[in-house]
C-alpha cells in the first residue's frame, strides 16, 4: 500500500499515452514521438473548419507535413497507413505544397486529448493528417487519414499493382485511365481490386464481381453518393461522396473504370 501511495504523484503526472509515428521515406527511416512533434520548431496551433472526421470546426497543434518529408520530391508517391488498415495513397506534390491547400500532421497532446469520433470510439489521434483550404486543392475525404501509424514512400500504384491497370492500349487521357486515377484517390484506401492493394477495410471491387455487375441502373451511383440510402447497418464506415468531392463528370469516369475492369478480372 505504501508503495502505491508513494507512486501516485508520479502516475498523476505521467503522460496518458506515448505514441510514435514511423516515416519510411526510402533513403531514410525515422520514428517521431508525440513529445518531439509537439515541440517541433514549426509546430503551431491551426484551425480546421468543417473537419472531415469531426464534422465541425477543430483546433489542433500541428506540424506542416512538408517539414517531416525531407528528401521527398513532388514526383514521389506516398502512402499513409492507419492503425486499422486504412491505407491512403497520395502523390507527394500536394503534401509538399505550401498552399493554398496545405497538409498538416495534427498531433494529439496527452494532456489535452481530442474528443472521441463517436460514442464508444476513440479520437482521431494520436496523429491525423488534416488540410487547411482543402477545396483549393480538390482534396478528397480519403486524403484525411486519422490514427496514422506510418507514412511510406513507395512506387506508384500502377507499378506496384499491375492487376489494377486498365488496358495498356488506351491513351493516357482516355476516360478509363482518368477513372483509374480517381479510383486511387477515392477508393483504394479501403478497397482492393483484382486482389491487389494494401487496404484491409472494404471488399475487393472486382473479385468475385464488380459492383457494376450487380448494381443496375443508377443504383451504383446512388450508393457512392449515399451508402446508407441503399444499405443500412450501424457498423458502416463508407462515407458518401457528394458533388463537391466527386462531381458527376468524375463519378462517370470512376464508374467507367470499374466497368472496364469487370472485363479484366485476374
Looking at the fold, whether 21 and 88 belong to one and the same domain comes out as yes
The CATH number for 175's domain is 1.10.760.10
Mean pLDDT computed over every residue of the chain: 90
Taking the C-alpha atoms of residue 93 and residue 153, their distance in angstroms, rounded to an integer, is 12
Average pLDDT over residues 71-83: 94
Q: Beta 20-24 vs 148-154: how paired, if at all?
A: parallel
Q: Residue written as cell 518531439?
A: 36
Looking at the fold, whether 22 and 143 belong to one and the same domain comes out as yes
Taking the C-alpha atoms of residue 189 and residue 171, their distance in angstroms, rounded to an integer, is 26
pLDDT at 231 over 80: no
pLDDT in tens, 92-149: 999 999 989 999 999 999 999 999 998 888 999 999 999 999 999 989 888 999 999 9
Report which DSSP code applies to 22: E
The CATH number for 96's domain is 3.90.420.10
Average pLDDT over residues 39-50: 97
Taking the C-alpha atoms of residue 201 and residue 220, their distance in angstroms, rounded to an integer, is 19
Looking at the fold, whether 127 and 170 belong to one and the same domain comes out as no
Taking the C-alpha atoms of residue 111 and residue 115, their distance in angstroms, rounded to an integer, is 13
The cell numbers describing 32, all together, are 517521431
Kind and range of the H or E element at 107? strand 102-107
pLDDT at 6 over 50: no
The cell numbers describing 31, all together, are 520514428
Looking at the fold, whether 124 and 167 belong to one and the same domain comes out as no
Confirm whether 26 is domain-assigned. Answer: yes
Opening angle at CA 252, ends 244 and 229, nearest 5: 65
- Give the domain extent around 80: 15-154
Please, what's the largest Cα pairwise distance for the chain?
77
Amino acid at each position: 500500500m505504501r508503495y502505491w501511495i508513494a507512486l501516485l504523484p508520479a502516475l498523476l503526472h505521467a503522460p496518458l499515452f506515448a505514441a510514435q509515428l514511423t516515416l519510411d521515406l526510402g533513403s531514410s527511416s525515422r520514428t517521431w514521438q508525440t513529445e518531439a512533434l509537439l515541440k517541433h520548431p514549426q509546430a503551431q496551433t491551426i484551425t480546421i473548419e468543417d473537419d472531415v472526421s469531426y464534422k465541425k470546426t477543430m483546433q489542433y497543434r500541428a506540424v506542416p507535413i512538408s517539414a517531416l518529408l525531407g528528401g521527398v520530391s513532388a514526383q514521389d508517391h506516398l502512402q499513409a497507413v492507419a492503425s486499422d488498415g486504412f491505407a491512403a495513397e497520395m502523390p507527394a506534390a500536394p503534401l509538399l505544397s505550401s498552399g493554398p491547400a496545405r497538409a498538416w500532421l495534427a498531433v494529439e497532446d496527452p494532456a489535452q486529448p481530442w474528443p472521441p469520433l463517436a460514442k464508444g470510439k476513440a479520437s482521431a489521434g494520436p496523429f491525423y493528417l488534416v488540410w487547411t483550404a482543402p477545396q483549393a486543392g480538390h482534396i478528397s475525404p480519403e486524403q484525411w487519414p486519422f490514427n496514422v501509424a506510418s507514412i511510406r514512400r513507395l512506387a506508384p500504384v500502377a507499378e506496384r499493382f499491375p492487376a489494377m491497370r486498365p488496358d495498356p492500349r488506351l491513351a493516357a487521357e482516355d476516360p478509363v485511365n482518368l477513372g483509374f486515377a480517381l479510383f486511387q484517390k477515392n477508393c483504394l484506401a479501403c478497397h482492393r481490386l483484382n486482389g491487389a492493394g494494401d487496404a484491409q477495410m472494404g471488399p475487393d471491387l472486382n473479385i468475385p464481381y464488380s459492383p457494376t455487375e450487380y448494381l443496375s441502373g443508377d443504383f451504383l451511383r446512388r450508393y457512392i453518393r449515399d451508402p446508407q440510402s441503399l444499405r443500412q447497418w450501424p457498423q458502416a464506415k463508407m462515407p458518401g461522396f457528394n458533388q463537391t468531392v466527386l462531381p458527376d463528370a468524375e463519378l462517370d469516369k470512376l464508374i467507367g473504370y470499374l466497368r472496364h475492369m469487370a472485363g479484366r478480372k485476374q
